[in-house]
Each structure stands twice: as structure tokens, then as C-alpha cells.
Amino acid sequence: MPNIKLHRARAILLKNKGRVDVNGTLSVFGQLYQRLKGVPPTSLRARERIFCTEFVGEGSQDAGGPYNEVMSMICEELQSKYLQLFVPC
């Protein structure tokens, strides 16, 4: 299980400024994608957590909470104007 370090504060700051993550590198979704894109798809098919999360500068220990927070933030970003991956319809 890979250990993923994410800069959540950087993503929140950019979002609060009203800017769009055009390159997909500053949002939590973009950061996670950049770190998992080389992982074989078969390793992402687990019934449990597929990675451990560490929030840089926050001293978080992933016992389930940070992983769940990442999943919530990804869902929120995908439905916002901050990450223009989907078109609302």
C-alpha cells in the first residue's frame, strides 16, 4: 500500500482564491492522480484502503480518518468549478 503525501493546505488556499486548477497538480484530486498514475490498476482493486495518506505540515496519522477526508475532498472537487473535469448538466 503506497504512502501518499498530499498538500491539502495548498489545495484549499488555491480554491479559496477562486482559482481553477488548470494543470491538475494543486487540487487534492490532481495531487493524488499524479502520485497514483504509475501504480498498476490491479493494486487499486482492493476492498480496503488502497493507499495511506499523510497531510504535509499537519502531522496526521492515517488510521482511516485522513483517507476518508481525501475521498470526501475528491468528491467535492469533482463537483465544483475548481476542478474543471466534468461539465455540469
Strands, DSSP E only, in the chain? 3-6, 52-55
How many whole angstroms separate alpha carbon 59 and alpha carbon 44? 25
How many whole angstroms separate alpha carbon 6 and alpha carbon 87? 26
Domain range annotation of the chain: 3-78
Kindly report, residue by residue over 23-77, the tens digit of the pLDDT: 888 999 999 999 988 888 888 887 888 888 888 888 766 666 888 899 999 999 8
pLDDT on residue 64 = 67
pTM flag (> 0.75): yes
How many whole angstroms separate alpha carbon 40 and alpha carbon 63? 24
- Closest C-alpha to 33, from 79, 81, 74, 65: 74
* Amino acid at the residue 58: E
Mean pLDDT, range 9-30, rounded to an integer: 88
pLDDT on residue 29 = 93
Label residue 1 by pLDDT band (50, 70, 90). Answer: confident
60: cell is: 496526521
